[in-house]
């Protein structure tokens, strides 16, 4: 992996509204929950990762403080108890050593409001209230994703943005991150109830998927400096 010394283009904007923070970080990559699985499922895909804001550049430390908007897309069937895992150390969210793990925490709604924040024609929910596909289970507090829709979740710690290593695994001059999504396919038996982050975890290879996504600046974004420091940057990413 090649470490990126700095990000080149920045545009100042107001930060997007963030969801209530519910995640954990550390040894919480996929293999910490389910050793040896490969995450080759396709029911829910990591569609995109948008670099929503930057409060610290990569610089000489080789790390940046960022808020990441992770876009997940569901296929033709609804899926339940969605979890998201992001690698923080530049390695794999599947098998790396340092990750951030979050889920679609309450509030939930049986009839959520869908918008079109992500630039495509698929209905999406940004930062909740998330879809509740199991209203019959009053002990289930983990958000779900309805068929043919998307979720957009802003990921950060409770008090700070995520701190990520600025690595460039394909040597094209941009930082990339590894992200995995997990889900359940059923609403009965052992898969019925998910009442916390600890239960929104990967279990088998067909019930999770991963993607490594490049984070690129918006075309034409302008460098914004105040007293020699970048205050707040919003960058849009394009897939390789």
Domain count, the chain: 1
Alpha helix ranges (H) inside 97-156: none
- Domain-located, residue 237: no
In this structure, the number of other CB atoms found within 10 A of the CB of residue 210 comes to 23
Q: Which of 31-40, 64-73, 163-172 has the least mean pLDDT?
A: 163-172
Averaging pLDDT over each range in 2-6, 62-66, 213-217, which range is the top one? 62-66
Q: What pLDDT, on the 0 to 100 scale, is given for residue 108? A: 97
- Domain-located, residue 238: no
Q: Phi first, then psi: give them for residue 84, nearest 5 degrees.
A: -135, 135
Q: What pLDDT, on the 0 to 100 scale, is given for residue 57? A: 84
pLDDT in tens, 58-81: 877 889 999 999 999 999 999 999
**Cβ atoms of residues 63 and 54 within 8 Å:** no
- CA dihedral of residues 238, 177, 105, 188 (deg, nearest 10): 100
Q: How far is CA 168 from CA 1, 108, 127, 206, in A?
A: 6, 37, 28, 28
Q: What pLDDT, on the 0 to 100 scale, is given for residue 21? A: 62
H or E element that contains 104: none
Looking at per-residue pLDDT, the higher value among 22 and 194 belongs to: 194
* Farthest-apart Cα atoms in the chain, separation: 59
Whether residue 141 has pLDDT greater than 60? yes
Strands (E) across the chain are located at 2-3, 24-26, 44-56, 63-74, 80-87, 99-103, 108-109, 124-126, 130-131, 150-155, 162-165, 167-168, 175-184, 208-215
Residue 69 in tokens: 């908007």
- Domain-located, residue 234: no
Q: How far apart are CA 222 and CA 9, in angstroms?
A: 6
Ramachandran region of residue 55, left (φ > 0), alpha (ψ -120 to 50) or beta?
alpha
- Domain-located, residue 202: yes
pLDDT in tens, 95-137: 999 999 999 999 999 999 999 999 999 999 999 999 999 999 9
Burial class (CB in 10 A: 0-12, 13-18, 19+), 108: buried
- Domain-located, residue 66: yes
Cα-based angle 200, 116, 140 (whole degrees, multiple of 5):
25
pTM of the model: 0.84
- Domain-located, residue 76: yes
DSSP single-letter state for residue 169: T
Domain of 172 in residue numbering reads as 2-215
Q: How far apart are CA 81 and CA 183, in angstroms?
A: 5
- Domain-located, residue 180: yes
Q: Which of 13-27, 126-140, 162-176, 213-227 has the least mean pLDDT?
A: 213-227
Q: Residue 189's pLDDT band (boundaries 50, 70, 90)?
A: low
* Portion of the chain with pLDDT greater than 70, in percent: 79
- Domain-located, residue 46: yes
């Amino acid at each position: 992996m090649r470490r990126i010394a700095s990000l080149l283009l920045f545009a100042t904007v107001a930060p997007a509204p963030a969801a209530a923070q519910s995640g954990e970080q550390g040894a919480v990559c996929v293999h910490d929950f389910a050793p040896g699985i490969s995450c080759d499922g396709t029911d829910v895909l990591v569609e995109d990762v948008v670099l929503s804001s930057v409060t610290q550049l990569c610089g000489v430390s080789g790390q940046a403080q960022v808020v990441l908007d992770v876009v997940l897309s569901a296929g033709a069937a609804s899926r339940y108890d969605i979890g998201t895992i992001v690698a923080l150390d530049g390695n794999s969210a599947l098998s790396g050593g340092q990750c951030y793990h979050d889920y679609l925490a309450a509030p939930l709604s049986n009839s959520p409001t869908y918008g079109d924040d992500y630039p495509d024609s698929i209905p999406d929910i940004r930062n909740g209230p998330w879809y509740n596909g199991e209203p019959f289970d009053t002990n289930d507090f983990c958000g779900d994703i309805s068929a043919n829709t998307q979720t957009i979740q802003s990921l950060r710690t409770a008090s700070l943005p995520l701190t990520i290593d600025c690595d460039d695994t394909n040597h094209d001059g941009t930082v990339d991150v590894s992200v995995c999504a997990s889900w359940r396919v059923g609403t009965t038996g052992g898969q019925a109830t998910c009442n916390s982050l600890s239960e929104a975890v990967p279990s088998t290879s067909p019930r999770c998927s991963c993607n490594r996504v490049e984070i690129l600046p918006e075309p034409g974004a302008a460098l914004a400096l105040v007293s020699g420091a970048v205050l707040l940057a919003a960058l849009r990413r394009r897939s390789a």
